[in-house]
Structure 1
Amino acid sequence: MRAPENPFDRVRVGRVKPSERTCIGMGLRFLCFLASSLLLLFLFSCSSGSSPSGTGFLYVATQGDSTVTPFTIDLSTGHLSANGQGAASGSTPSAMVLSSSGKALFVANKGDNTITSYAINSDGTLATGSSTQCSTGVSPVNMATDSSGKFLFVTYLGSQLDPNQPSAICVFSISNTGLTQASVVTFAVPSPGPSGVAVTPDAKFLYVSNRFDNSVTQYHVDDSGNLTSFASYPAETTPAGMALVTAKNNTFLYVANSGSNTVSGYVVCLAVNSFCANADGTLVSTGSTFSVQLGPVAMAASSDGAFLFVVDQQSNQVSQLKIAGGSGVLSANAPANQKRQKSSAEANHVGTFRIK
C-alpha cells in the first residue's frame, strides 16, 4: 500500500519578485504568494471540490491598489492562471473569508473600516462588490463564518487606550452577499484587543483571542447573533490567529501567540468525553504548547484535521505541524518549516489562507 503523501512533499520555494508567483504545494491544495510593484499579496482563499482533479479558484487581495484579483488553479498541478479582471475593495484590505456555500467572498478593509461583499460567478470571477460598515469599531483584522453561512463575525482591533478608536466584535447576518448587522460588542479602554476569531460549526460558540491582555474569550451566540461572554482563558503573549479543527471526533482550538512564538492547543467541549464534563463549549488545555518560528500570526488546517500550518511572519516561514487526533497535541511534521524568501516589496505582510 502506498504511504500517505506528506502535504509538503512537493514544495517549490523561490524569491518572490514583481509579477512572479511562488507556490507551496499542500497535498492537493496550494498556497501561493504574489508580489506586485507596490505590495505583496498578504491574504487569499481557495475554493474547490473534494476531487484532486479539476479547477479551483484563488483570490488575492493587494493593499497597494485595494484590489481583489481572481485566479484559477489546476488542482492536479497547482498551476495558476489569471481569471478576469480584479475587483475594487475598500482601503487596505486586511482579512478575507468565503461563505460556506462558496458563492460569496467577504473582505475586511482596515483602512476605511468596511466589509466588501462579492458574488462569485460560476467561472470564479467576481461581481462588483458592495460595502457594509459596522456601527462602531476601528481596524477590522479577522473574520469567521459558521458552516451554515448564517453569520459573519468580524473582530475590530481598535486601540488599547484611545476611546476614539474603539475595539469591537461585530456580527452580521448573511443573505447571499448581503450583510445586515445583527449585534455588536464594544470594549471600553483599556481594550483587550480582539484579534483572532473562530466559531463552532453550529454557530453556538465564538472564540476571540485578545492581543492586548493575552487571553481568549468564549462567547455564547444566540439565534439572533447576540453575543454573551461566558468565560475567559489565559493565553501566551500576544495571541493572534486561531484555527478550529475537527480530528477523530474531537474538536480543537489552536491559537498562534505572536509574542511568544508558540501555538497553544485547547479541547473544545462540544460533547461529554474523557476531556469534557459538559458539552458547553468550554476550553480545556491539551497540556501542550508547541514552539514555532518567529511571529506566528495565522493558521490553517488540512481538511482531514491531520495537519496544522502556521504562518510565521517575522521569520518568513510556514511551520508544519501534525495533530494527534485523540489528544490534540502538536508535533513537528518533517521538514518542520519551509523558508519563503522575500523581496523588498513584501514589507512584512503575511499570507493567510483557508483550505477546503
Structure 2
Amino acid sequence: MRRLACGPVAIDAAVGVLTVAAVVVPLSMAGPADAAAGPSRVAARSSAASPGGRTVYVTNSANVGGTANVTRFSIGGTGSLTPVDTLTLGDRGGARSMVFTPDLRFAYLANTLVNRVVRFRIGPGGALEQLGEVETPSPFAMAIAPDGKTIYVSNAGTRTLSPFTVGATGELTPLRPVDTGAEAAKGVALTPDGRFVYVSHGSTVDTTPTVMTGFALRSDGSVGREVARKKIGISGAETVITPDGRFVYVVNQVSNNVHGFRIGSGGTLTAVPRSPVDGGDFPEGATISPDGRGLYVAAVGVENNDPDARAGQVLGFTIGKDGRLTEKPRRVTMASPIGVGFSVDGRHVYVSDYTDSVVNAFTVAPDGTLDLVQTAASNGPRPAFHSVNVLPSPKAAPRAKGGQSPPPGRN
C-alpha cells in the first residue's frame, strides 16, 4: 500500500472552520511562567537563541493525531540544527508549507485541515508572532511573488488556485480564485521574474496521468490566461523552478518519476531531454540548489504493511545546460523522507521524515552527494509536504523601470 497520509486524500474535507491559537514554547527554557507570558513575550525572550538569523522552520502536520506546530531551529557553522522554540497551531492537524516576504517581515503557513492560511510577523532571530488568519479551502502548497505583493495558494482536493495580495502590515486580501484546469491542484511554483505560475495536479488514488498548467500573471498579481498545459505523471506533487527561470520540474508520487520542462519566453513548456526520469518510490518533495545546478528529491517510500515494503530515499540529480537530469551516485536511505530544503549558501540540505518525525542535516559534497551531519527530532508529530522551510536572505523588492512596457504574456 502506498503512503496516503501525506497527500490530499488524507484531508478531512468535512472539517469546519476552527480558530487557531498559537503558543510559543522555547525548547531550552519552557515552563509554567513561559506559558503564562503569551506568544509575544516568549518569542522576544527566545529570539537571541538563533545565531546570525540563520533559521529553519519545520512544520509538524499532526496528520494522524496530536497538535500541529512549527519548530524553529538555528543553523550552526557545520550545518547542524539547534531547536529554539515551538509554536503550536491548535488541536487540528495540517500544517504544511510556508512562504516569506522578501524583506523577511512576514511569514505565511498553509494549515490544511482548518482551511486557513496563518500570518506571522518575523522577529529578531526568526521568532514568529501570530498576527491573524485568512480562510481558504484546504490550503496545500504556496508560492510568493518576487516583489512580495502576492501569494498563491493551491486548494487541495479542488481545481482552484487562490491568490492573495499582501498589505503593508502583512494582511492578506483575496483576489479572484482561478480554475487550474484539472482536478486536485497541488504543487505551485512562480518564475523568478514573477510573470508565470505553474500548478501540478493529482491525487494519490489516481490511476492515470494528469497535467501541469501554467498561467500568465497580471501586474496586480491576479492570474491571467493559461499559457501552458503539459501531461505529467500520476499524482503530481512538489513543483520547483531553477533560479534562472529556465526550467521547471515536478515529482509524481504514484508514477514514481520526475518530469522536467523548459520554460519558453511566453510561458510555454517543452519537455527537456530524457524526461521523465526515475524519482524513487513515491516522490513528494523537491528542492533546487541555490546555484541551479542540482535537483534533490525526497521519495517517501512504501508502507511497512506492503509486501513490497521499501524505505524512502533522497535522490540527487545534476541539471544539465539543456535541463536534462542525470542522477548523482549514492542515494540516501531514510524511513520516509518528505520535506527538503537547502541552506542559503548551498552547503547543506535538510530533510524531514514523516514516519520518524525527525530532520536530517546533510553536507553537500563537491560531487553533489549528501553526507549526514545530524539527526534532530522535529519536535512535533508527522512533518509532511513542504515541511522544511529555510528562512532566506533578505532581498530588496524588484521595481519596474519607468517607461517600460509590461513583459509579453502578462495579461
TM-score, structure 2 normalization:
0.69
Which residue pairs with 1:272 in the alignment? none
Q: Given the superposition, is the C-alpha separation of residues 229 and 19 from structure 1 closer, same or farther in structure 2, using an over 3 Å criterion?
A: closer
- Structure 1 residue 243: Cα displacement: 0.6
Please say if residues 313 and 337 of structure 2, whose CA atoms lie closer than 8 Å, have aligned partners that are also in contact. Answer: yes
The alignment status of 1:305 with 2:356, answered yes or no, reads: no
Q: What is the percent sequence identity of the aligned residues? A: 19
The alignment status of 1:177 with 2:221, answered yes or no, reads: yes
Superposed CA deviations along residues 124-183 of structure 1, whole A, max 9, x for unmatched, are 222234311112x222221112211121111102466556xx722011212242112222
Which residue pairs with 1:203 in the alignment? 245
Amino acid corresponding to residue 316 of structure 2 in structure 1 = G
Which residue pairs with 2:96 in the alignment? 42
Mapped partners of 1:238, 1:209: distance in 2 = 9
Aligned residues: 320
Q: Which runs of 4+ in 1 moved over 3 A?
A: 5-14, 16-22, 26-34, 158-163, 346-350
Which residue pairs with 1:236 in the alignment? 280
Superposed CA deviations along residues 94-152 of structure 1, whole A, max 9, x for unmatched, are 111111222211111113221111111122222234311112x2222211122111211
Q: Mapping of 1:74-89 within 5 angstroms?
A: 74-76=123-125, 78-83=126-131, 85-89=132-136
Please say if residues 258 and 279 of structure 2, whose CA atoms lie closer than 8 Å, have aligned partners that are also in contact. Answer: yes
- Measured on the aligned residues, the alpha-carbon RMSD in Å equals 3.4
Mapped partners of 1:148, 1:229: distance in 2 = 21
Gaps of 5+ in 1: 50-54, 270-278
- Structure 1 residue 70: Cα displacement: 0.8
Q: Given the superposition, is the C-alpha separation of residues 281 and 226 from structure 1 closer, same or farther in structure 2, using an over 3 Å criterion?
A: same
Where 1:102 maps in the other structure, the secondary structure is coil
Mapped partners of 1:240, 1:319: distance in 2 = 17
**Which fold has the larger relative contact order, with Cα–Cα distance below 8 Å and residues 6 or more apart in sequence?**
2
Q: Given the superposition, is the C-alpha separation of residues 128 and 7 from structure 1 closer, same or farther in structure 2, using an over 3 Å criterion?
A: closer
Mapped partners of 2:384, 2:345: distance in 1 = 31
The alignment status of 1:351 with 2:387, answered yes or no, reads: yes
- Structure 1 residue 64: Cα displacement: 3.0
Amino acid corresponding to residue 358 of structure 2 in structure 1 = Q
- Pick the aligned partner of 1:168 from 208, 211, 217: 211
Which residue pairs with 2:317 in the alignment? 266
Mapped partners of 1:310, 1:171: distance in 2 = 28
The alignment status of 1:106 with 2:142, answered yes or no, reads: no
Q: Which has the higher strand share?
A: 1
Gaps of 5+ in 2: 1-50, 302-310, 393-411
TM-score, structure 1 normalization:
0.78
- Structure 1 residue 48: Cα displacement: 4.5
Which residue pairs with 2:369 in the alignment? 329
The alignment status of 1:156 with 2:210, answered yes or no, reads: no
Which residue pairs with 2:13 in the alignment? none
Superposed CA deviations along residues 289-315 of structure 1, whole A, max 9, x for unmatched, are 1223x2212211111111111121121
Please say if residues 198 and 208 of structure 1, whose CA atoms lie closer than 8 Å, have aligned partners that are also in contact. Answer: yes
Amino acid corresponding to residue 211 of structure 2 in structure 1 = A
